[in-house]
Amino acid sequence: MLEEKALDTIKRWNMISFKDKILVGVSGGPDSISLLRFLLSLKTKYNLSIYIAHLNHLLRGKDSDEDEIFVVNMANELKLPYKVEKYNIHDYSRKKSISIEEAAREIRYRFYEKAATFFHATKIALGHNADDQVETVMMRIIRGCGLEGLKGIPPVRHHIIRPLIGCTRQEIEVYCCKNKLKYRVDLTNKKPIYFRNKVRLELLPFLLKEYNQNIYKNLLNLSNVASEVSGYFQMESERFFQTATHLITTDRIVLDLDKLNSCALALKREIIRRSIKEVKGDLNDITFLHISYIVRLMTQQSGEKYLDLPGNLKIKKTYNELFIFNESDISQNLNHVSQKWEYVLSFPKKTREIIELLKLSVETEIIEPLKLDSYKHSMNSPGEKKFYEFIDIDEVKLPFRIRNRRAGDKFNPLNMKGFKKIKDFFIDLKIAKNRRNKIPFLVDAEGKIVWIIGLRLDNRVKITKNTKNILCVKVVYIN
């Protein structure tokens, strides 16, 4: 039954919380009508607030307008708040030189986000079902995809939920019939005029009849297995990404080539994709061939090598580093206070590192507690702008990173009780707004702020009588 499957999906993926405000994308078709009806059945149990959003794509003339009228009338009958908008998808498709399907998807999701903001909704619920999932996986296989593509449509993506993703189209039609739900029929879905329609109406029925009666079930199983494997793989690649990254800014990533070349090819490809997405914002127009070119570039021994990618992206390979950066922002100007930057230190492998981007060097040295006083005296050398601190190394997790502030940052300032927001700390010290994003922080692998360089150490890492291992960190500004 649809109700049982949908409820299992909601619980499995933790889709709904008590007092959620849910925006439901309603086209007027059986999927979205069933979804709306099902969520209304949970309204009292979860104390939900439900809103309706409908986008008129203007693709089917009078039929599109009648869909809109149908949804508006239904919303009024149910006394649900709604938001309706018209958009000329044909014009957008031509301007962007993309397919009608892709254009409709872009505009639809943009509209949903805008409507969710208008209603202060916490979730956006969409009516994708198991048949949509099968079609998506098949389409991606045909076009060419990796592990991520085989996952298909995610049940949950950020605040977007799909409670019917485990229900078949047949189960949805039975649910509509049983509950006497009225809905609109999009006749274009019965015509093989779009890629998805061709897969739905021609290819899958042919495979079902001529090759395998379990084709739908098998493709769903493939999607589920791909999701499980991808989850583990993502965790591993993220861990390796953190250790192989020398530098992260809003428009540039620098990777350690030795570490990158030491890992398995599949992991190497994933880290490259992860890095490109970080810099570019998406993986649009980045193909398997592009990733293969980068992998090949990494293995070339001599000198500097360059590679151009779509979206103003450039790849630069040196002897020991791989740069992925946005060519239009190559200046790396840190005067833009909104820019985020981050650098991964190689300690304890390296005890001195030059960070060209920040125009500073970082030196680290382990000191025996009994030699601390004499070491401090030796640090007082004139003629250089430097800062240094002594840290209980057993109170931090490696590797260290040097970065600027992030929203919500807080720490426990030395000689103070409790935590303080970085913003308030800067205000207390009367540090100008245009300087605040340029001040470097030393943080550990767990994100703990160890030291606001030049300003204050964190109380949790200070030297005490119980300290057994002391780390001196010295930061020297080159210019």
Please say whether the beta carbons of 218 and 224 come within 8 A. no
Q: Work out the average pLDDT over 430-451.
A: 87
pLDDT for 380: 55
pLDDT beyond 60 at 25 = yes
Q: Which two tokens stand for residue 160?
A: 């977007």
pLDDT for 386: 65
Q: Looking at per-residue confidence, does 242 or 87 come out higher?
A: 87
Among 279, 210, 275, 276, which Cα is nearest to 251's? 279
pLDDT for 238: 84
pLDDT in tens, 326-337: 865 443 444 444
Q: Residue 479 — very low, low, confident or very high, per pLDDT cuts 50/70/90?
A: low
pLDDT for 308: 84
Q: Looking at per-residue confidence, does 473 or 288 come out higher?
A: 473
Separation of alpha carbons 380 and 474, rounded Å? 12
Q: Looking at per-residue confidence, does 193 or 136 come out higher?
A: 136
Q: Work out the average pLDDT over 164-193.
A: 91
Separation of alpha carbons 240 and 243, rounded Å? 5
Q: Which two tokens stand for residue 269?
A: 């490809």
Question: Is 0.75 surpassed by the pTM of this model?
Answer: no
- Domains contained in the chain, CATH given: 2-223 (3.40.50.620), 250-329 (3.30.465.60), 341-477 (3.50.40.10)
Among 160-169, 269-278, 350-359, name the one with the lowest average pLDDT: 350-359
φ, ψ of residue 5 to 5 degrees: the values are -65, -45
pLDDT in tens, 34-79: 999 999 999 999 999 999 999 999 888 899 999 999 999 999 999 9
pLDDT in tens, 94-108: 888 888 888 999 999
